[in-house]
Amino acid sequence: MAILVVASGNYGQVLQDIYDITGGDGGLGEGDSGNPAFILITYQQDNSGQFGPDRINDLINNVACNVVVVGDNPTTVVAPYKLCQVRGVTGPLTGGQVNVVYETTQCNGEGYFVFDADGNQIPDPNTAILFHELSHAYHKCIGDYPGPGAAAEFQAITDENGLRAQLGLPLRDPNNNKQAGCTDCGAGGQPPPSNNCLIATAALGSPLAPDVVFLRHIRDSVLRCSKLGCQLFDEFWAQYYTFSPSIADKMAVSSPFRNQITRLAVQPLVQFLTWAYDYVQGGWQADDFAARVESDLRVSAQTLSTDSFTLSSLENLLGKQRNDQYIVWGLLVPLRLYWAAATDLERSPDKGVIGMRVKAQIGDWLSAVPIPAGYRSLSESEIHQDLVLLNERIFTSPELRQVFEKRLWQRLRGCGDN
Ligand SMILES: [Zn+2]
């Protein structure tokens, strides 16, 4: 039915790899997926009769399921593995969709290897890695996937060899799924690069769940495009990483705990950020913004529990990071605002009041964004350039812009509050 490429992370490399698999077929194109988080791949095949392009054509135009592809980095965790340990992962077929995530950097250029029939190491380039995972996805879609294990690997490696022959690459031993290369992959110790929403992934079950994709989209398309956003995200991540792995681990073994974190924190945060995203995209001047907030709240507030797990239980899980300004701003304030609004909406049936309050709070929250210390080392003209970006993406309301700029210049001239 379709191949959709997630439009964040290393998607440029994914597009390149698909193009290379088709032998550089100019019939490959991009269509409108109806969702900015996904790039729809279209294909009017020219290079027919070759294994790679025929398979891509089947996936795009013939089989009855969608394949969603993400390009990611070596240390991204797709539980229980780091991507550099497995190169790629193909999820189950659910709701007509199969998700594929693969490592697009060749272990940051170090290179990956697999084995030929004589036991020699041979290269494992991106095209082979992606095609291997697409083969698993294809067989899941058409219903002849034998289940995880040697038979499935034999099937995928045999397909992969079809592509390898087309591209003039050495062929693999289909009975040998061993991999080599990427010396430091097992070492660990380093925090993973900031490309994985650990808790959200644990809560929502997959790095490809729509809400996780949305969070990535916020990070890559809203935050990371500006210097302020980048620095802010790095500061936030450094704190977040000190507590998130242990929470994610606990979620993996306890489903009641996973449900609590999902209902208490992940869903409310995603909801709050959805409103904030809507706000900066023009919601601040939309008449129905408050009404939309309230109708969202009515739906999602039903999932809030009345059990003993509260926001202060969550704060306790964060240790001393609960006082960190980035965690407070990025995590705790949104959750407090969300929870107060959900609680008050149940009490006060007055239409619009809570929605208007949330709207004002979102504006205040945005203009109170922490200004990272590293921002001071920018030159005045760099800051002006950054402000142009920020005003396009975040401070789209003139009022917010004014409040933020006043704060910013006060702060940079050393007489501000934070
Ligand atoms: Zn495989």
Q: What is the pLDDT of residues 360-409, one digit of tens each?
A: 999 999 999 999 988 888 888 999 999 998 998 889 999 999 999 999 98
Closest CA to 339 of 271, 241, 257: 271
Ligand 1 centroid to 91 CA: how many Å? Answer: 11
Q: Is the torsion defined by CA of 367, 372, 377, 378 positive or negative?
A: negative
How far is it, in rounded angstroms, from Cα 390 to Cα 394? 5
Ligand 1 centroid to 147 CA: how many Å? Answer: 11
Ligand 1 centroid to 83 CA: how many Å? Answer: 13
How far is it, in rounded angstroms, from Cα 323 to Cα 134? 45
Strands 2-6 and 112-115: unpaired
Ligand 1 centroid to 232 CA: how many Å? Answer: 38
Ligand 1 centroid to 372 CA: how many Å? Answer: 43
Residue 189 has pLDDT above 50, yes or no: no
Ligand 1 centroid to 338 CA: how many Å? Answer: 42
What is the pLDDT confidence band of residue 133, given thresholds at 50, 70 and 90? very high
How far is it, in rounded angstroms, from Cα 59 to Cα 2? 6
Residue 74 has pLDDT above 60, yes or no: yes
Contacts of 352 (CB under 8 A, 6+ apart): 290, 291, 294
- Phi/psi region, residue 378 (left: phi>0; alpha: psi -120 to 50; beta: rest), is beta
- Lowest-pLDDT range of 17-21, 92-96, 282-286: 92-96
Share of the chain above pLDDT 70, in %: 89
Q: In terms of pLDDT, which residue wins out, 253 or 19? A: 19
Ligand 1 centroid to 107 CA: how many Å? Answer: 18
Question: Which pLDDT score is estimated for 306?
Answer: 57
Ligand 1 centroid to 156 CA: how many Å? Answer: 6
**Is residue 317 within 8 Å of residue 247, measured between CB atoms?**
yes
Mean pLDDT of 260-288: 89
What is the pLDDT confidence band of residue 106, given thresholds at 50, 70 and 90? very high
- Provide the H-helix boundaries in 262-397: 267-280, 289-301, 311-317, 325-327, 333-347, 353-367, 380-393
Ligand 1 centroid to 4 CA: how many Å? Answer: 20
Ligand 1 centroid to 379 CA: how many Å? Answer: 50
Strand partners, 301: none
Ligand 1 centroid to 258 CA: how many Å? Answer: 29
- Lowest-pLDDT range of 93-107, 131-145, 302-316: 302-316
Ligand 1 centroid to 244 CA: how many Å? Answer: 29
Ligand 1 centroid to 137 CA: how many Å? Answer: 10
Residue 192 has pLDDT above 60, yes or no: no
Residues bordering ligand 1, an ion, CB closer than 5 Å:
153, 156
Question: Which pLDDT score is estimated for 418?
Answer: 46
Ligand 1 centroid to 187 CA: how many Å? Answer: 23
The CA-atom distances, in angstroms, between 317 and each of 286, 343, 384 are 38, 23, 39
Mean pLDDT: which of 126-135, 193-202, 345-354 is highest? 126-135
Residue 305 has pLDDT above 60, yes or no: no
- Provide the H-helix boundaries in 143-224: 150-167, 198-204, 210-217
Ligand 1 centroid to 43 CA: how many Å? Answer: 25
Ligand 1 centroid to 152 CA: how many Å? Answer: 7
How far is it, in rounded angstroms, from Cα 38 to Cα 35? 6
73: its two tokens: 């980095």
For the CA atoms of 9, 11, 12, 17, the dihedral, rounded to the nearest 10 degrees, stands at: 130
